[in-house]
Amino acid sequence: MTANRRVGVAGDAAPGGCICRSPAGRPGSGGDGFRGYLGIDVGSVSTNLVALSDGDEVLADVYLRTGGDPLGAVQAGLRELRSALPQGFTVLGCATTGSARQLTGVFVGADVVKNEITCHAVAAQRLVPEVQTVLEIGGQDSKIIILREGVVVDFAMNTVCAAGTGSFLDRQASRLGLPIERFGELALSSRHPVRIAGRCAVFAESDMIHKQQVGHRVEDIVWGLCQALVRNYLNNVAKGKEILPPVVFQGGVASNRGMKRAFEEALGMEVLVPAYHRVMGAIGAAILVREERARRGLAEGVGARGATGEAGRRGEGWGAVAGEGGACGWAAAGAEGVGPCDASPGVAAAASVAPRDAGGEAAAATGSGREVARSRFRGFELADLDYSTGSFDCDGCPNRCEVVEVFLDGRLAARWGGRCDRWDLAEAEGARGKAARLRAGRAVEDSRGQALGPAWR
């Protein structure tokens, strides 16, 4: 059995990468100052936020349960992150990922929205440049990413079965009356492991109960559950995939040392677990927004905002900035490399949800005189706003799209869900009136001056 190797531990020199914590939570070295990049990963079970320096040092990270309220979890995470960061810290760019990335992206004012596959692959490769296989198991989904020569060549995710995910272990821990944090410790203490059916979560629970009834010890059952989850993962998610070392294991389930050992025994090779395995998706998102803004000439943080401390309390660096192709530049973001699978086609955001920067400018010039867009991040003060959501079914055509609306402090912030631009916001002011007139069947014009309403019925 190979030794338990920790990669990127705080204060250690990470092999091939620098995903480590800056000493005492201070801003990273190399002249980064009080600024950095924000990555937010919102999943069905956990919400993760990371502040990253220009040198890819983790300045602060937050891991908390989503609890069925993704926006509420994001607000709680922003409050924790704000208190952990130095006074005056400024966000140069913000990116979102995870199953709620579109909703979160509109809510916080993300500069980049990326899928989980891309973010996890980027974070793993930053840490272990020669990585060839990434195993990721979260609360409700699991995935495998195959890289060759630094390029993602294949990936797969679980389908409808939860037997290969963290929720499987959570449920069995509850059934055994154990905190999930003890699973790894108990699994490693097993002396007589038992085989538990792992192909289906329902059958696994029945089999586990049977093993209890015939007198098997708890630690042996727990180790059997870890082995069952690994078998399910390898036979379903990783079926037909060529798993080559180095193998990086990340996601919340990677905290379970029993799972790491089970993977190593099944694969016959060492499995690396990063120190920040729980927040690797958020780290990847932060790296991607840093690279994107550097590519567009924004590495120096011109027009950056989202300051903590006094500047944040004054409301400076706050609110969506009008950009190309949309009220907050969402269309422009999709056109400039966010990616067709990442930018939602039916997202529209309001431009005047919050006050603009103190300067009131929509763009700032770099040293070369080139006009560039500012970060869209709304600021840490977003954590203190009241929000509400609602939805309605559009009856304009047979598609019957469900249109979702988000309000911040009672003002319409964003709307999405439609397959056309009928409900896109030309501007925040009057948006509610437009929606009311459409619902009442009265004609109204869209942003291009075309009549909407009765003509669509």
* pLDDT tens column, 113-170: 999 999 999 999 999 999 999 999 877 778 999 999 999 999 998 866 665 677 777 7
Q: pLDDT at position 193, please?
A: 82
Q: What is the pLDDT of residues 170-180, one digit of tens each?
A: 777 777 777 77
For residue 251, being part of any structural domain is answered with no
Block residue for tokens 């799209």: 401
Of 210 and 253, the one with more pLDDT: 253
Over residues 212-238, the mean pLDDT reads 86
Q: Confirm if 239 and 262 have CB atoms less than 8 A apart.
A: no
**Most confident listed range (31-40, 66-75, 316-325):** 66-75
- CA-to-CA separations, 142 to 59, 137, 229, in angstroms, rounded: 27, 4, 11
For residue 416, being part of any structural domain is answered with yes
Q: pLDDT at position 196, please?
A: 79
Which of 378, 411, 446 is a domain's end point? 378
Same domain, 369 and 397: no
CB atoms within 10 A of CB 26: 15
| Nearest one of 128, 85, 82, 383 to 246, comparing CA atoms | 128
- CA-to-CA separations, 450 to 269, 337, 403, 417, in angstroms, rounded: 62, 29, 20, 20
Q: Confirm if 19 and 10 have CB atoms less than 8 A apart.
A: no
For residue 395, being part of any structural domain is answered with yes
Mean pLDDT score across all residues of the chain: 73
DSSP class of residue 277 equals G
Block residue for tokens 């249109």: 403
Residue 353 has pLDDT above 60, yes or no: no
Over residues 291-310, the mean pLDDT reads 61
- CA-to-CA separations, 108 to 6, 211, 229, 353, 442, in angstroms, rounded: 33, 48, 35, 11, 33
DSSP class of residue 321 equals P
The helix or strand, by DSSP H or E, that contains position 55, with its residue range, turns out to be: none
Same domain, 156 and 201: yes
Residue 220 has pLDDT above 60, yes or no: yes
Q: Confirm if 456 and 422 have CB atoms less than 8 A apart.
A: yes
Same domain, 371 and 418: no
Same domain, 164 and 183: yes
For residue 136, being part of any structural domain is answered with no
Of 119 and 413, the one with more pLDDT: 119
Residue 306 has pLDDT above 70, yes or no: no
| Nearest one of 94, 114, 76 to 39, comparing CA atoms | 94
Q: pLDDT at position 360, please?
A: 31
For residue 338, being part of any structural domain is answered with no
Over residues 87-95, the mean pLDDT reads 92
Q: pLDDT at position 406, please?
A: 84
Beta bridge partner(s), residue 355: none
Express as a percent the part of the chain with pLDDT over 90: 31
DSSP class of residue 44 equals S
Q: pLDDT at position 222, please?
A: 87
Task: Show the domain range for 450.
Answer: 389-456
Q: Confirm if 105 and 71 have CB atoms less than 8 A apart.
A: no
Q: pLDDT at position 33, please?
A: 54
Q: pLDDT at position 16, please?
A: 40
Q: pLDDT at position 407, please?
A: 86
Residue 335 has pLDDT above 80, yes or no: no
Q: pLDDT at position 162, please?
A: 61
- CA-to-CA separations, 205 to 184, 209, 211, 257, in angstroms, rounded: 19, 6, 10, 21
Of 348 and 35, the one with more pLDDT: 35
Q: How many angstroms separate the CA atoms of 389 and 409, rounded?
A: 11
Tokens standing for 200?
């289906």
For residue 270, being part of any structural domain is answered with no
The helix or strand, by DSSP H or E, that contains position 289, with its residue range, turns out to be: helix 280-295
Q: pLDDT at position 19, please?
A: 52
For residue 236, being part of any structural domain is answered with yes
Domains held by the chain: number: 3
> pLDDT-derived band of residue 337, with 50, 70 and 90 as boundaries?
very low
For residue 112, being part of any structural domain is answered with yes
Same domain, 98 and 12: yes
Same domain, 204 and 105: no
Q: pLDDT at position 200, please?
A: 67
Same domain, 372 and 397: no
Residue 387 has pLDDT above 90, yes or no: no
Residue 449 has pLDDT above 60, yes or no: no
Amino acid in position 122: V
Same domain, 109 and 161: no
